[in-house]
Structure 1
Amino acid sequence: MTTVDDALRVFSPQLPLAVAYSGGADSTALLLACAGKWPGQVRAVHVHHGLQAAADDFARHCEAVCAQLQVPLRVSRVMARHAPGESPEDAARNARYEAFRALALEGWAQPAIKSIALAQHADDQVETMLLALSRGAGLPGLSAMPASWQRDGLMYYRPLLQVPGPAIRAWLAQRGAVFVEDPTNTDERFTRNRIRARLLPALAETFPQFRETFARSAQHAAQAQSLLVEVAREDLAALGRPPVIRSLQGLSLARQANALRQWLREDHQATPSAAQLEQLLSQVAACTTRGHRIHLKIASGHVTRAGDCLHFAA
């Protein structure tokens, strides 16, 4: 079983490093471990969502802990209420990313922060995979959460992704570390909380090594998805961007679907549903005359035919 110390031993981000610090158990362990490994090189960022009465208490707790650790803390207040059609989780996540981006742009820390560490762990990874399976997700969903990625010019890391949740709490208990408990984490109206409370204990009883095996499956899915992206980009280099319909018809259906998904996602930030992609493939196959018209709803826009090519408009 991977421990917090094991994870930090191989974690080597560009310094200085900012840790996303909620005050909960997982981010507390990450902050303590990083501050201990890189004294004076770690900053903390607490995102105040303003969604619950305890939010001010969370911020005060974070301020007290960071003062004791002598770690600079920035509290960023955001409005994370979700818009129609957006889940509360997505709204909060997007608000956090926007807060991190804004802090980097305003030059809060000098030298400027280039790396941000998030505290998701092995149990979070399993929950993400189970949610993806419940939605019938493809490889991108089954890849779950990446260990590192770039967004808005910042490098993000999840160094605890191989560490089980119980191991993190045991590590904290050994050090007598204090943290806050978010009351929403036990609210089983949220699907992720029901998975945590009901499914993970059953999995642990039936498959004791499920965290490690699920992590391997996510890595396999991520590798396969990376290969599909390479193939799609090679195909799009030949098809053109936007794709030429006749050239697209020369590919197998699987490669057509792969290329179209990549074109829509990479060029237009649009992700088609399985039904939408199936309709688009059917229309591409039927497009054998100059007069054939294509006008399909895809994500938040439409794919149309313009001459010999497909086009997307939001």
Structure 2
Amino acid sequence: MTQCFEAAIAAFHPVLPLTIALSGGADSTALLLACAQRWPGQVSAIHVHHGLQAAADHFEQHCIDLCARLQVHLTVQRVDARHARGQSPEEAARTARYQALQTAATTHAIAPASIALAQHADDQVETLLLALSRGAGVAGLAAMPAQWQRGGLVWHRPLLLVAGADIRRWLQTQHHNWVEDPSNTDERYTRNRIRARLLPVLEAVFPAFRATFARSASHAAQAKELLSELAEQDLAQVGNPPHIHALQALSPARQANVLRHWLLIAHQTTPANNQLTQLQQQIHACTTRGHRIHLKVGRGFVIRTGAVLHWYN
């Protein structure tokens, strides 16, 4: 079931000190306010200035004013979030934001043990629907994790079971304002079209959709973890780099699983579905010493060198 905002905050137990990723919008403003009230003197904030729109300076000023009122230390991190050729603007901004949060968290006055992000239940639904629209596998359907570790920090999303409307209602009771990002209503972005057109329909047809979608994402996350554990065991058997003969001994599903795992952990790349299918076909056909493998996979190429596979870019 979904949670109300206050219940979610009560159930949130991060290791302190805590830093909040503060955009200035309703969700992160509410999260900062609630956490600063609960753990006075143990909470700081980071605002990432993307510089992508005219309102960016207004967002920054809101964050400065809010943190001054709450007596919370604020770090402003300016980034170049322009997207590269072939990269979506959303992906570029997201990558720049996480890199800036990681950098700022290790350099500002209060070195945090934890970082909290304000994504909520509606964001989780949108992420899951986007994954479904792209034909994602288990990893994509797992959507956003509530907690993970990276760069020596524990990252949290304590509001993943809270509807966005509930967060705004709570914030209104606190008589605090927030800034509205004008890009959130721009329906050129798929996520915004989902929010504006699909979520109201889901609300009308399946009132409990936030809770049921979250449950499905949780099931997918468990399956993802099991597949990862199996892939680690299989990679230990086939080798890194993997031996072709050992790969051929695996079932197609386990072979695909371990190949994805190898490419991700060893080379930080992810194959498209058709690339992985072609690679498996070549592995199956590799019955002679002279059989050549040279395939585009992810950001580079998989080649055969003797009895093993290698990847390069």
What are the ranges of 5 or more consecutive residues in structure 1 without an aligned counterpart?
none
What are the ranges of 5 or more consecutive residues in structure 2 without an aligned counterpart?
none
**Is residue 2:175 matched to residue 1:173?**
no
Report the residue type matching 1:14 in the other structure: V
Partner of 1:109: 109
SS state of the match for residue 310, structure 2?
Answer: strand
Shift of 1:153: 2.2
Alignment of structure 1 residues 136-215 onto 2, 5 Å: 136-215=135-214
SS state of the match for residue 189, structure 1?
Answer: coil
SS state of the match for residue 81, structure 1?
Answer: coil
Deviations 1:83-118 (A, max 9, x none): 011111111111111212222333x124x2221100
Partner of 1:38: 39
Deviations 1:182-229 (A, max 9, x none): 111111111100000000000000000000000000000000111011
SS state of the match for residue 137, structure 1?
Answer: coil
Partner of 2:216: 217
Distance of 2:12 and 2:61 partners within structure 1: 29
Identity %: 64
Report the residue type matching 1:269 in the other structure: Q
Distance of 2:104 and 2:197 partners within structure 1: 38
Deviations 1:37-60 (A, max 9, x none): 100000011101001111111111
Partner of 1:298: 297
**Is residue 2:28 matched to residue 1:23?**
no
Shift of 1:75: 1.0
**Is residue 2:50 matched to residue 1:49?**
yes
Partner of 2:77: 76
Deviations 1:249-277 (A, max 9, x none): 01100010001000001111110000000
Report the residue type matching 1:30 in the other structure: L
Distance of 2:179 and 2:58 partners within structure 1: 9
Alignment of structure 1 residues 119-134 onto 2, 5 Å: 119-134=118-133
SS state of the match for residue 258, structure 2?
Answer: helix
Deviations 1:102-149 (A, max 9, x none): 22333x124x22211000000000000000000000001100001111
Distance of 1:188 and 1:247 partners within structure 2: 49
Partner of 2:66: 65
Shift of 1:156: 1.1
Alignment of structure 1 residues 215-254 onto 2, 5 Å: 215-254=214-253
Deviations 1:1-48 (A, max 9, x none): 301111111211111111000110000111011111100000011101
Distance of 1:87 and 1:17 partners within structure 2: 31
Report the residue type matching 2:136 in the other structure: A
TM-score (norm 2): 0.98
SS state of the match for residue 106, structure 2?
Answer: helix
Q: Number of paired residues?
A: 312
Shift of 1:151: 2.0
Distance of 1:209 and 1:144 partners within structure 2: 18
Deviations 1:144-183 (A, max 9, x none): 0011112222221100011011111111111112101111
Distance of 2:76 and 2:223 partners within structure 1: 39
TM-score (norm 1): 0.98
Deviations 1:235-257 (A, max 9, x none): 11111111110011011000100
Report the residue type matching 2:53 in the other structure: Q
Distance of 2:18 and 2:109 partners within structure 1: 10
Distance of 1:279 and 1:159 partners within structure 2: 41
Distance of 2:42 and 2:280 partners within structure 1: 52
Distance of 1:105 and 1:11 partners within structure 2: 22
